[in-house]
Amino acid sequence: MFIDRARIHVKAGDGGRGCVAFRREKGVPRGGPSGGDGGRGGSVILVADRHMRTLVDFHFRPDFKAGRGQHGMGSRCNGRDAEDLVIRVPPGTVIREAGEGALLDDLAADGRQLVAAKGGKGGKGNQNFATATRQSPDWAEPGERGEERDLELELRILADVGLVGMPNAGKSLLLSKISAAHPRVAAFPFTTKEPNLGVVSLGPGNSFVVADLPGLLEGAHRGVGLGHEFLRHVSRTRVLVHVVDVGWEKPASEVVRDHDTVLDELRLYDPDLLTRPRVVAANKTDLPGSKKRFEALKKRASKTGGGTCLPISALTGSGVDRLVRAMQAALAGAPEPVLNLGAGPAVTLRPRGVAAVRVVRDRRGRFLVRSREAEKLVAGIDARSGGTIRSLQAEFRRLGVEDALKEAGARSGDRVRIGDLEFEYVS
């Protein structure tokens, strides 16, 4: 099963809680606080792996969650960091933020990786809060929550040469002749419904990958037929081989029109595709009357910058060797393609932490504080500890929570809710 699109949910591990503990040992009358720090939560990392071919694994398993960090312990023992969760994807996978469509990364090269969700930091134990005037702190920090994201994965296959053309032009048969690939070949349109890859070997250390891509019809750039699938994959190829059927009993003008239709769809999808080296392969020249249609195609290809136009017959093998040499020559000077991935420039994933504090009122008259950083601070705290509450008050002032509440009209005695913590506001 060839799956080239998937949507997954990734959740990084939460950081472990800091520990509240005090050293009590014989002979140590003033042991002091000894709570260790929590461990870091595991991150979710996407890595391009050349041994992967499709996204089928994500079709059956769309949810990924990394482990949480170990909680801190007494005797100044810190919790263990959780291991990162590594997810392997095929090279050529484009990662986008689900819904927003923002491009996060293009894992085009084997080994390239993206930290899709960063693990939360471990909370500090009470040993970190001891000072000369505060020698017995009875609070610790909760672990930071790990990031959570919905991602869209889109595979664009990596190949040196892409075979393009109308349906039933003979692309699959040609691929089977020049490589060891065995694509489905039949005498009806859209036999190829997914890309097929084949390796063309011309001797030790001299080989290249050819992709047989689904045929397209007029309007393919708008998704007509299998065009949207075809055009997405052709964007990765360095050289285009345009296979045109000149064997059917139809006027030469229709052959030229088929040739122009493919070029128009390439240009409408991405104008850069027509700047790449291109070879036109006039297929089925073993059939009667093909010579006249070939001459018309050759003349048209020269005007449109199609490069070499070669007569071949994928069925008999006539001219195929010459076509393979033309592919090799075109690849020699072909640069790596600059991909048009759309949806604006790439963005860098950063922790979703500090943001503007927003205060709203609910139907019950409570003031609800919307701030990811403030909500992380109150997650998992011990509200019974006076030291913890005092520490939170200082952090709220730093984040601007108090100023936001005053601006929203909060007065002493009003109820305030931040995350799971609800308290009475004191101005």
pLDDT tens profile 14-33: 999 999 999 887 777 777 89
d(CA 231, CA 237): 11
**Mean per-residue pLDDT over the chain, rounded:** 81
- Provide the percentage of residues in the chain whose pLDDT is more than 90: 30
Higher-scoring residue by pLDDT: 318, 420:
318
Question: What phi and psi, each to the nearest 5 degrees, are found at residue 150?
Answer: -105, 130
- Position 226 scores a pLDDT of 45
- Position 182 scores a pLDDT of 63
Least confident of 139-148, 204-213, 331-340: 331-340
- Position 339 scores a pLDDT of 57
Higher-scoring residue by pLDDT: 373, 313:
313
- Position 43 scores a pLDDT of 95
Nearest one of 307, 215, 218, 306 to 254, comparing CA atoms: 218
pLDDT tens profile 316-348: 999 999 999 999 999 988 887 665 554 443 444
Higher-scoring residue by pLDDT: 159, 281:
281
- Position 219 scores a pLDDT of 46
Q: State the pLDDT confidence band at 188, using cuts at 50, 70 and 90.
A: very low
Centroid of chain to Cα 382: 39
Amino acid at position 37, single letter? D
d(CA 350, CA 234): 31
Q: Which residues pair with 161 in a beta bridge?
A: 210, 239
Q: Which two tokens stand for residue 166?
A: 């109308």
Nearest one of 64, 56, 67, 65 to 8, comparing CA atoms: 64
CATH assignment of 358-424, given 3.40.50.1820, 3.30.1330.10, 3.30.43.10, 3.30.300.350? 3.30.300.350
Q: State the pLDDT confidence band at 354, using cuts at 50, 70 and 90.
A: very low
- Position 385 scores a pLDDT of 57
Q: State the pLDDT confidence band at 57, using cuts at 50, 70 and 90.
A: confident
User: What is the CATH code for 161-332?
Assistant: 3.40.50.300
Q: Which two tokens stand for residue 344?
A: 């604006």
pLDDT at 158 over 80: no
Q: State the pLDDT confidence band at 2, using cuts at 50, 70 and 90.
A: low
The string of DSSP codes covering 199-226 is: EEE-STT-EEEEEE-----TTGGGT-TT
Q: State the pLDDT confidence band at 47, using cuts at 50, 70 and 90.
A: very high
All CATH 2.70.210.12 domain ranges of the chain, comma separated, are 1-155
DSSP 8-state secondary structure symbol assigned to residue 377: H
Q: Which two tokens stand for residue 134?
A: 């505060």
Q: Which residues pair with 361 in a beta bridge?
A: 367
Burial 170-209 (b: 16+ CB within 10 A, else e): bbbbbbbbbbebebebeeeeebbebbbbbebeeeeeeebb
pLDDT at 193 over 60: no
DSSP 8-state secondary structure symbol assigned to residue 160: S
Q: For 1-155, which CATH class?
A: mainly beta
Least confident of 108-122, 289-303, 339-353, 407-421: 339-353
Q: Which residue has the tokens 């990392």?
A: 45
| Angle at the Cα of 272 from the Cα atoms of 271 and 277, rounded to 5 degrees | 120
pLDDT tens profile 280-298: 999 999 998 889 999 999 9
All CATH 3.30.300.350 domain ranges of the chain, comma separated, are 358-424
Instruction: Report, as an integer, the average pLDDT of 124-135.
Output: 86
Q: Which residue has the tokens 């080994």?
A: 111
- Position 346 scores a pLDDT of 40
- Position 13 scores a pLDDT of 95
The string of DSSP codes covering 72-102 is: PBTTTBPPPPPPPEEEEE-TTEEEEETTT--
pLDDT tens profile 218-267: 544 444 444 455 677 777 788 999 999 998 777 888 899 989 988 888 88
Radius of gyration of the chain (CA): 31
pLDDT tens profile 64-82: 999 999 999 998 999 999 9
pLDDT at 401 over 80: yes
Beta strands in 277-404 (DSSP E): 278-283, 309-311, 358-361, 367-370
Instruction: Report, as an integer, the average pLDDT of 102-123.
Output: 88
Instruction: Report, as an integer, the average pLDDT of 407-411.
Output: 89
- Other CB atoms within 10 A of residue 110 CB: 15
DSSP 8-state secondary structure symbol assigned to residue 125: P
- Position 296 scores a pLDDT of 92
Q: State the pLDDT confidence band at 352, using cuts at 50, 70 and 90.
A: very low
10 Å CB burial of residue 342 (0-12, 13-18, 19+) is exposed
d(CA 352, CA 115): 13
Least confident of 121-130, 191-200, 357-366: 191-200
pLDDT tens profile 87-96: 999 888 889 8
Could you tell me whether strands 239-245 and 278-283 are parallel, antiparallel, or unpaired per DSSP bridges?
A: parallel
- Position 273 scores a pLDDT of 85
Q: What's the N-to-C CA distance of the chain in angstroms?
A: 63
Question: What phi and psi, each to the nearest 5 degrees, are found at residue 129?
Answer: -105, 5
